[in-house]
Amino acid sequence: MARTKTPNIAKAAPAKAAQVPKKARTTQIRENLGARHRRETDELFRTRLLTAAMFGAILSPLFGVVDFLASESWWPSLPLPGFLVLRFGITLWFVALWVFLRTARHFPVAAMDWLIFAPPAVALGYMTAVTGGSSSPYVAGTTLLVMTRTILVPGEAKQHLPVVSFLVLSYPLTVFLFGPAGGDLGGWLRDTDAMGYLAANLFPLFAIAGVGLVASDMIHAMHQRLISARSLGRYKIKKELGRGAMGVVYLAWHRDLGRPCVIKVVNPEKDASGNLRRRFEREARETSLLRSPYTVQVFDFGVTQAGQLFYVMEYLDGVSLQDRLDEQGPQPFDIVCRWLAYAAESLAEAHARHLVHRDVKPANLYLARTADGREIVKVLDFGIARKVDPGAAARGSVRRRPMSSSMSKLTHSDANLTAVGTVMGTPLYVAPEVLEGHVASHAADQYSLAATAYHLLTGRPVFTASTMEELLWKTIEEAPAPPSEVAPVGGLPAGLDMILLRALSKKGEDRFPSMEEFRRALEPFASAPGTQSTVEMPAVTH
């Protein structure tokens, strides 16, 4: 997962919630998403209708200029005072609707639609009828109204067809009722000039309405996809926090609880058999049962409508240890040991449940504050954690995968990628036996935590290389330099050197027997919880 400096992640799930059957959970998510579609569509519809009312209130009096020009040129008999009064009345109508509908949150949007567009359509039709009927230039006003309705207020074509049809038909109906024909249908139909003008104006109106409805429907569909993309049932996606090989992490909002949370959407490989989904759900349940205060808690998981797996974590306000390392450089050994003790306690609980994290690194250790202001570390991203058979992990005999002889030059981003499908983890911190193809065990997490400590103390990874091949070779074959020889001026305690080098042993059996033993070894070097470091560090120059 790509590192981000934005406040991050969380993991916890009540056991009861985690035991909800997959089918029921998926159905609930889809029902909630459908309800969310309706709510957001109605809210958008309401907003656009209010915008239409506001524009109507502004533009209607301006079109009085058209009335004045018409009375002075091409239609001298135009009843200008009556038209101006009608314009003023339409303007007041729009203003009154805008004021009323802004506060009437539960007023039906369908009724809003008719109230905003039907009266001006009738008024425009009357103006058209008394200025020449079917040949009147005032039909342009109806055309503009139809265009405004279909473009400004997107939605499903079938939903908006009645209103748009009324707007289009208001032109011939008002011309027939109020125009020269005066309601004489037979005489009006026999008037070839009137029918010619009527057809010439109706065809563009129908075409504009049709194209507008199709465009409106397409915009509505795109909006629905957008809602789906940023909604997961009861969760509203706020923004993307990070992206990596295993998926995307989002900051989200829990609609029911009214609190922030973090969602990781996992990118599953082809899963025709369903094994990946079953494994994901099993491991999500196991992870949700972790109760260490130093583990970011998972409290929900499920499947999106697109079939993507996701889990929901508590939201933390803070920075990762990778961020702290990038900003401040090497850290005091007593503070680092305190951080590691927190992380080791979290991992020890996971190991007791036979869960191996498989991606321990500075970016997955998060520095957060407790309610009393103390800084603690929480272990993030058990997303690729795996439940292992204790005996199988110890035997760890998966066939070796040959290294490619055509490795490209290693970049910083390369070293921080998770090698999905080959080695699970980040190459800078992955244990040698895992790089050789063996099953990741509890001892592999211990190596990764020690490699993380090495980087935090010295400002550089255990091994550096110019190519991925060289990095993998050094990790498997080369003994690491004591961290005290690499650390900045001031050095590290000799005993801490021995502890870290033991945890970085090439063979898992040469490391500490358990993560708890590793934690106990670190404790004498750790600062007291909540205290500041007593170690003087050299100034960092950039």
Nearest residue to 431 (alpha-carbon basis) of 354, 358, 336, 345 = 358
Tokens of 108: 């039906």
**Other residues' Cβ atoms within 10 Å of the Cβ of residue 136:** 23
What is the crossing angle of helices 22-62 and 109-129, to 10°?
Answer: 30
How far, in Å, CA of 339 to CA of 366, rounded? 10
**Other residues' Cβ atoms within 10 Å of the Cβ of residue 166:** 16
What residue has token string 């569509």?
Answer: 41
CB of 496 closer than 8 Å to CB of 337:
yes
Q: What is the DSSP letter of 247?
A: E
How far, in Å, CA of 502 to CA of 512, rounded? 7
- Cβ-defined contacts of 393-400 (< 8 Å, 24+): 393/356, 393/439, 393/440, 393/441, 393/442, 394/441, 394/508, 395/439, 396/433, 396/438, 396/439, 396/441, 396/508, 397/438, 397/439, 398/437, 398/438, 398/439, 399/437, 400/436, 400/437
What residue has token string 């508590």?
Answer: 314
CB of 164 closer than 8 Å to CB of 213:
yes
CB of 297 closer than 8 Å to CB of 10:
yes
Beta bridge pairs of residue 309: 266, 303
Tokens of 324: 């702290």
Phi, psi angle pair for 138, to nearest 5°: -65, -10
The angle subtended at Cα 287 by Cα 438 and Cα 449, nearest 5°, is 50
**Could you report how far apart the first and last alpha carbons of the chain are, in Å?**
27
The angle subtended at Cα 83 by Cα 78 and Cα 89, nearest 5°, is 175
Nearest residue to 322 (alpha-carbon basis) of 223, 388, 219, 413 = 413
What is the crossing angle of helices 139-152 and 22-62, to 10°?
Answer: 150
Tokens of 211: 């194209």
Is 323 a known active-site residue?
Answer: no
How far, in Å, CA of 468 to CA of 475, rounded? 11
Q: Which of these is catalytic: 67, 113, 300, 359?
A: 359
3-state secondary structure of 481: coil
How far, in Å, CA of 43 to CA of 49, rounded? 10
Phi, psi angle pair for 282, to nearest 5°: -65, -45
- Indicate which residues carry an active-site annotation: 359
